[in-house]
């Protein structure tokens, strides 16, 4: 009787021992099927591609299909999120989305975009902003990869590169309301419904009394 878990483990061990060049050839069909293959991966971008494969091998021990499903964010900028509702709850927690622009700014100023520098910048940003580093790490992971779980975030950001990380964090910036639009915001919208109703009743009653008084003395 076959033990599927043991077979999967053996497969992962075999994959982990493959040289990047051989692994690339073996998994190409999976990339083709997902519409993610680029001839540059075996050409001018081979150094980056092999670095991603080596990282995925060491971090995940993943099989061929896993390179596409779990590491898709490396090969396309069309991020697929695990769970929309879960994603938004992460960003709402402690208003963490408001801190992503500060993180984006800190990362853009790094002279070297490596894992150690990225981690230091993130932790400093979290400390300055008064938010837990773990919360900012989790929000950054979701914003950049679409995943709630991934290999080491700082290594992932390094492999994605400064420009792609900047673009993905920028996409999570809170929308800016133009000043012209602010002019049309009703003050009533800032008042709780119960208070608003009570206030409207008070002023309606006051106007009625004023109208009756004018009629009496006219």
What residue spans define the domains of the chain?
4-74, 84-170
First to last CA, the chain: 103
Model pTM? 0.69
For the domain made up of 84-170, give the CATH fold: Arc Repressor Mutant, subunit A (1.10.10)
Mean pLDDT of 111-129: 97
pLDDT at 191 over 70: no
For residue 201, report the phi and psi dihedrals to the nearest 5 degrees: -65, -40
Name, in order, each residue with C-beta under 8 angstroms of 43's C-beta and a sequence gap of 6 or more: none
Count other Cβ atoms within 10 Å, centred on residue 130. Answer: 8
Range picked from 68-77, 111-120, 186-195 for highest mean pLDDT: 111-120
Name, in order, each residue with C-beta under 8 angstroms of 107's C-beta and a sequence gap of 6 or more: 113, 118, 121, 122, 157, 162, 165, 166, 169
Q: How far is CA 115 from CA 43, 118, 122, 182, in A?
A: 26, 5, 11, 41
Min mean pLDDT across 1-15, 39-53, 58-72 is at: 1-15
Please report the pLDDT score of residue 28 as a whole number.
Answer: 84
Residues in the chain: 218
Mean pLDDT of 75-79: 89
């Amino acid at each position: 009787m076959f033990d599927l878990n043991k077979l999967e483990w053996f497969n992962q061990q075999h994959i982990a021992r493959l040289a990047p060049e051989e692994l690339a050839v073996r998994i190409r069909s999976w990339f083709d099927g997902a519409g993610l293959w680029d001839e540059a991966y075996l050409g001018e971008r081979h150094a980056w591609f092999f670095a991603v494969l080596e990282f995925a091998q060491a971090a995940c021990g993943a099989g061929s299909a896993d390179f596409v499903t779990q590491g898709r964010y490396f090969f396309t900028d069309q991020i697929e999120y695990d769970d929309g509702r879960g994603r938004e709850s992460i960003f709402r927690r402690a208003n963490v989305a408001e801190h992503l622009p500060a993180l984006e700014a800190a990362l853009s100023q790094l002279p070297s975009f490596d894992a150690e520098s990225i981690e230091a910048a993130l932790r400093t940003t979290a400390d300055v902003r008064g938010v837990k580093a773990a919360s900012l790490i989790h929000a950054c992971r979701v914003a950049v990869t679409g995943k709630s779980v991934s290999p080491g975030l700082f290594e992932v950001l390094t492999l994605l590169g400064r420009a792609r990380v900047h673009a993905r964090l920028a996409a999570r910036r809170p929308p800016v309301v133009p000043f012209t639009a602010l002019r049309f915001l009703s003050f009533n919208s800032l008042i709780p419904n119960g208070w608003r109703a009570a206030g409207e009743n008070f002023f309606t009653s006051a106007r009625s009394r004023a109208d009756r008084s004018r009629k009496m003395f006219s």
